[in-house]
Structure 1
């Protein structure tokens, strides 16, 4: 009976036990994983495993995709900056000096690019007459100014300023114009021309002066 059972079960007892994996290979992988966590060398024991798992060209394609997305994001950000709406800069302040006490409101209409345009209006009480380009009587006055400038390249700049003050039956207007040309980094050619006009009732006076010279910066 035992002989018959042995003959019947011999194929199953002599064949190897089915295995789902190779124990030595799995043990080696686990051992390399443990070594990798504490490996401080430039080339660790599992370097060949990492090379086999990596697909040729896969990392390059990933970097290329990331670069394209990054470039697109930078381009869109640049477009948003270029299309940002410019707003006029405004300021209101009170002031006092030896000649006047008052308030003024400034608006910079143009402040980007080669052109510059600013407007100033205000009201004040004049303390000293004709001390800083104004009317000849103390009392309440209205003042204003228009400032214009334009740059021509990196070397030349044209400036023009118109100042007016009225009150107590008098009017004062001052117009100044200047042109500065940079000849060398330390040398600048400057020219100024100023016209002052005073009106008192039906009469008025007008004076003009100019200056032309070269200024050196130290």
Structure 2
């Protein structure tokens, strides 16, 4: 049975080394072509050490993606509690901040972003379903945001879950565009365009350019 060494500084350091090595190799060669032997060789540890920390190759991939989504949520909606939402101006400002945070985060974590975009479908079904739950969690959080904004009359009366999933799709495409297609485009400009595109379909008729109509 694989033992847990979390909390031990030396063990945590080895775990981080293994994850860094795996991220590089998964990105460079793909999930299917990367072997555990390749990961431990790059990390500079014995193969037996790998199995003290991870059950198998899919498990280290899943943990990398868990880390990615956890950090992304923390830096976006995690910093903007929906309960504080009150005005159209605030909706526009917050959405633009979220887009900017998404783009900056993905560019800081290019390898993990590429893994999420390119390699998730290569996972076995069990791990693939685990990854899909991250998108479901993101959708649930966005739906709560949309529902609260709708109650305040700031967002159109659309099905909140549908709106959330449409935004999730837009986020995924923006990750792809900002990291793989236009990595040098200013994040502020991309965020402004994404905000305009999103709000064109969501913002209530009483809100124009982020301001309430009188």
TM-score category of the 2 structures, normalised to the smaller one: under 0.3
Question: Looking at CA atoms only, which structure, 1 or 2, has the larger radius of gyration?
Answer: 1
Greater RCO (Cα-Cα under 8 Å, separation 6 or more): 2
- What is the TM-score when the length of structure 2 is the normalising length? 0.25
Per residue, is there more helix in 1 or in 2? Answer: 2
User: What's the TM-score, normalizing by structure 1?
Assistant: 0.25
> Per residue, is there more strand in 1 or in 2?
1
